[in-house]
Structure 1
Amino acid sequence: DRYGRLLGDCKAGGVDLNRAQVEAGWAVAYGDFETEEAGARAGKAGIWAGTFDEPQDWRDTHGHGLVERKHGTLASIGDALREFFRFR
């Protein structure tokens, strides 16, 4: 994405796990699944049962000086291997 993070679509048994998390109220929609988020909000499911700071709002007030990792260790190893073999 525009922040250099590694993103992907996760599916299990034909179920879109990203969508399922938003529908269940355990994730905030970011660019997709706004309809699913609206349903979760209306039903006060998961995180919508109470109050919380949305991730972007929290980062805006607390993110100064924090470094966000682009992705996990395994992905970093994969990046290093790709770089190594790219020049061979």
Structure 2
Amino acid sequence: MSRPTAALLLAALVLPAHAAESITGHATVIDGDTIELTGKRIDLHGIDAPESAQTCETARGTSYRCGQAAATALRGRIGTADVTCEPRGTDARGHVSAVCRVGGEDLAAWMAAHGHALANRHQSQAYLPQERRAWATRRGLWAGTFEEPADWRQARHRAEAAAQAAAD
């Protein structure tokens, strides 16, 4: 076996098949950490944004739809530009997790830096510095109070399960 052939075989064994396949096109924002691109649902790798129905409070205690605010911020940042995503993996639901960029800017980093999303420590430590800066400057979610999106989802699932059990 020649060296180039051996190198290609080794690369195929080490790199996931989708590692080199970037996806580019016009994105539709689903929520603050999810887009649809070329018919594929893509989660922004490394962050967790509030869910669309989730509410938070401002520093003055006024309730607002922080999930919708996060989606609006992401939509505004993308604008009409094409988005390029580099897949990092697929979750149990079949959603692709990817690092997505507009004009070279990492959208997950932007969302965390502006306080519209938290760093997802289970996926990556990459966005902790941006989250810390947003916290220190009280940007976005950090300007008031909020429930972490993962905790909010878990509480909602428990409530739905309890309601279903009561109905049965």
TM-score range, shorter chain: 0.5 to 0.7
Identify the structure with the greater strand proportion.
2
Q: Over alpha carbons, which structure has the higher Rg?
A: 2
1:7 — aligned with what? 97
Please list every run of 5 or more consecutive structure 2 residues that lacks an aligned counterpart in the other structure.
1-89, 162-168
Number of residue pairs matched? 66
Please list every run of 5 or more consecutive structure 1 residues that lacks an aligned counterpart in the other structure.
67-88
Structure 1 vs Structure 2 CA RMSD: 1.8
The answer (yes or no) to whether the contact 2:91–2:97 under 8 Å persists in 1 is: no
Q: How does 1:53-72 map to 2 (within 5 A)?
A: 53-64=147-158, 65=160
Deviations 1:25-76 (A, max 9, x none): 111111330111011001100111000111111122112348xxxxxxxxxx
Give the share of equivalent positions with the same residue, in percent. Answer: 33
Q: TM-score, normalization: structure 2?
A: 0.36
1:23 — aligned with what? 113
Please identify runs of 4+ aligned residues in structure 1 that moved more than 3 A. Answer: 1-4
Identify the structure with the greater helix proportion.
1
* Inter-partner Cα distance in structure 2 for 1:13 and 1:26: 20
1:43 — aligned with what? 137
Q: TM-score, normalization: structure 1?
A: 0.65
